[in-house]
Structure 1
Amino acid sequence: MTDQKTAKETVPMCNEDFTEPTEAEIEVLRQEEVFASTDQSGPDLYPRMFNMSAGFMYSATLHTQDPAAPEYLTLPMPSPSFEDGESLRFELAVAKWNTVWESAQYRRRVFGAEDLPPRLYRIADRGDNNIVFVPRTRSRYYEYAPLFHLLPTSTLQLFGLPQLTAGQWPFSIRTVDIDNYLPADFEKRLARAWAATVWRHMVPGSPLRGFSKDDPLRLLAHNLDYWLPAATEVIQDILRTFPTVDQELISPTARLLDSSVLPGVTVESPRKGGDLWRGEADAKDVLAEVVHRADTTGQLRAILEAVRSNRVVDDFSDFWSFEKEDFERRLYHKRSKVKVTFVELTDTIPVQGPETQVVGSIVHGDFLALLNAKDREVVVLLSSGVTKLTEIAQVLGYANHSAVSKRLTRIRRQAEEFFGQVD
């Protein structure tokens, strides 16, 4: 009894000094979780994106050799609260599902009905789909986090976007309602910031303002949904270079409960987590790779070539750009488009049409007026069907075709000058 009393007296009563934090103090803690601090925002540290290894939850998981492209599925999430047991179980189930990204479309095979809330299990039970769960928010931040966290500080400031703490792929657990800390027009600001950043890779040498708001490439640069698959592919390529937690743990086959084998799937230790990129230099390299990958996921190169080949005046703004200058040079024939070539043909007859009879005759007549008598005879003979140089030489009384060739060279030069002005 004495021992118990002594023990009780020596145990510190922590609860006596504990005070409930005020709402203001809680808000300060929330903002510290949302916004990057000074120590986190230097150019060598920001922007940053990282991955948390599934090894914290699983000793082994499925590794898919031919993964399907991930699809982001937004979910209405319960209010973030660690006091609500049901809310916490839902958040943990989402985190576990997303963490085994290596299982790709076969990740549902890792979970049973007892492992997922009914709402998630109904989605998983629809088949082998490579789904990534993200919270449904007004801003769509979690969907576009891979793009947002590639932008440098200067770009964020230019477009009125906040510096957030490091992003995580795939999404794990929320601790705050992110919409409370982002601009109401976050998605539009992000689209403009992303377009300004990626544009130099799409149309180097020509500024974004040199094109109209309806220009196809400008619209493509602003389309975040177009770029997201490429960013996700690049992220997974980076993660696949990470070593596994236990490199000796590997089974070449994955067997289901009915003893059947999943083709192209192995059982291995999860890969280690870590930074996907950290700092502006890393982010710049990853961004370039995202643009390159967009050619695979979205046929970017084919789109660029198709748009450039079918440019119209309305695609450009009033500002100068190399692309506009090149377009106008072609449109207004600042470069000579006429190349005059006389070809010696055999067994041919002149082909005439309504346009050549009227318009063609007028232009042809104006050109002939510029030539001397001998040169006019050469052109007339060519247009009348005499196309062999030796025959023309005989008609004009020359010993050989050398003189005719010299005259043709002079006529060709005059024709290029004349018809270049006529066009």
Structure 2
Amino acid sequence: MTTKEFLQSQKQEWFPKSSTFDRNEYPVCGSLSGSFFYRLIPNPTERHPPEFVFIKPDDNGIHSLAMKGHIAQWNMAWEAGHLRGEILRAEMPESFSWLDNYKDANIYLLPYSAKHGYYAHQHLLNLLPARTREKFGLPLTKRGIWPTESAHWFLDRILPKDFDQRLSRAMAYHIWPLINNSSRINRYTKSEPISLLTHNLN
């Protein structure tokens, strides 16, 4: 399979027709328990607020297999919270040794892309209605998993170049009627003061 054919197949998978979905697949954003991969996972009684660190790719612009592997391993142990470093230290690559400086932090590792913020916002994307996604030209992936398990190099090639702006507009379009059903968001411009936007909110 050529690169072009592979990208086309991924585009068909990430932008399927909404008619192929059923109510159990969409819109859904869930999590995957580490119990599928680990015999024991500590579950701390004290929960620390989540913090997010973006991991940049290497000099070639891609996340190496070792980098992807550790991001996946770290995030799949999300139930352990700030104790992840304790249970994964022996297998931690040297490039991630800086995590030892934040032993009390509940850190999530997210792949960084200079072209889009998909990995940071995929949980929001997966909860938008299909019609809203179609209206703004956003991916119609089925059941989403958070936190992300890996970086996908092909997303830089198949996502719209203005993905972040489209997602922002789609979220505003979806949320606005829920907080202010007496007006339409398209009646306001981006430069409207916040006091004007909120004058009808309870």
Q: How does 1:22-421 map to 2 (within 5 A)?
A: 22-36=2-16, 40-42=20-22, 45-77=25-57, 79=62, 87-112=64-89, 114-137=90-113, 138-215=115-192, 217=194, 311=195, 315=196, 323=200
Residue of structure 2 in register with 1:297 after alignment: none
- How far apart in 1 are the matches of 2:186 and 2:48? 38
Deviates more, 1:200-209 or 1:152-161: 200-209
- How far apart in 1 are the matches of 2:186 and 2:17? 33
Query: Is residue 28–residue 143 contact of structure 2 (8 Å, CA) maintained in 1?
Result: yes
User: 1:76 offset after TM fit, Å?
Assistant: 1.4
User: 1:52 offset after TM fit, Å?
Assistant: 2.1
- How far apart in 1 are the matches of 2:10 and 2:179? 38
| Larger relative contact order, structure 1 or 2 (CA cutoff 8 Å, min sep 6) | 2
Query: Is residue 35–residue 41 contact of structure 2 (8 Å, CA) maintained in 1?
Result: no
Q: Deviations over 1:347-387 (max 9, x none)?
A: xxxxxxxxxxxxxxxxxxxxxxxxxxxxxxxxxxxxxxxxx
- How far apart in 2 are the matches of 1:28 and 1:212? 36
Compared with structure 1, are the counterparts of its residues 38 and 70 closer, same or farther at alpha carbon in structure 2 (3 Å cutoff)? Answer: same
Corresponding residue pairs, total: 196
Query: Is residue 176–residue 185 contact of structure 2 (8 Å, CA) maintained in 1?
Result: yes
User: 1:33 offset after TM fit, Å?
Assistant: 4.7
Report the secondary structure of 2:102's partner residue.
Answer: coil
Compared with structure 1, are the counterparts of its residues 33 and 77 closer, same or farther at alpha carbon in structure 2 (3 Å cutoff)? Answer: farther
Q: What residue identity is the alignment partner of 2:38?
A: Y
- How far apart in 1 are the matches of 2:188 and 2:10? 42
- How far apart in 1 are the matches of 2:99 and 2:22? 41
Once the two structures are aligned, what percentage of the paired residues are identical? 27
Q: What residue identity is the alignment partner of 1:117?
A: P
Compared with structure 1, are the counterparts of its residues 39 and 92 closer, same or farther at alpha carbon in structure 2 (3 Å cutoff)? Answer: farther
- How far apart in 1 are the matches of 2:156 and 2:183? 35
Task: Kindly report the root-mean-square deviation, in angstroms, between the aligned alpha carbons of the 2 structures.
Answer: 2.7
Compared with structure 1, are the counterparts of its residues 38 and 173 closer, same or farther at alpha carbon in structure 2 (3 Å cutoff)? Answer: same
Compared with structure 1, are the counterparts of its residues 200 and 66 closer, same or farther at alpha carbon in structure 2 (3 Å cutoff)? Answer: farther
Query: Is residue 108–residue 128 contact of structure 1 (8 Å, CA) maintained in 2?
Result: no
Greater Cα radius of gyration, structure 1 or 2: 1
Compared with structure 1, are the counterparts of its residues 201 and 120 closer, same or farther at alpha carbon in structure 2 (3 Å cutoff)? Answer: same
Query: Is residue 71–residue 132 contact of structure 1 (8 Å, CA) maintained in 2?
Result: yes
- How far apart in 2 are the matches of 1:53 and 1:32? 28
Query: Is residue 50–residue 106 contact of structure 2 (8 Å, CA) maintained in 1?
Result: yes
User: 1:101 offset after TM fit, Å?
Assistant: 1.0
Report the secondary structure of 2:43's partner residue.
Answer: strand
Gaps of 5+ in 1: 1-20, 81-86, 218-310, 317-321, 325-423
TM-score, normalised to structure 2, is 0.82
- How far apart in 1 are the matches of 2:18 and 2:130? 12
- How far apart in 2 are the matches of 1:88 and 1:206? 49
- How far apart in 1 are the matches of 2:18 and 2:136? 20
Report the secondary structure of 2:57's partner residue.
Answer: coil
Residue of structure 2 in register with 1:421 after alignment: none
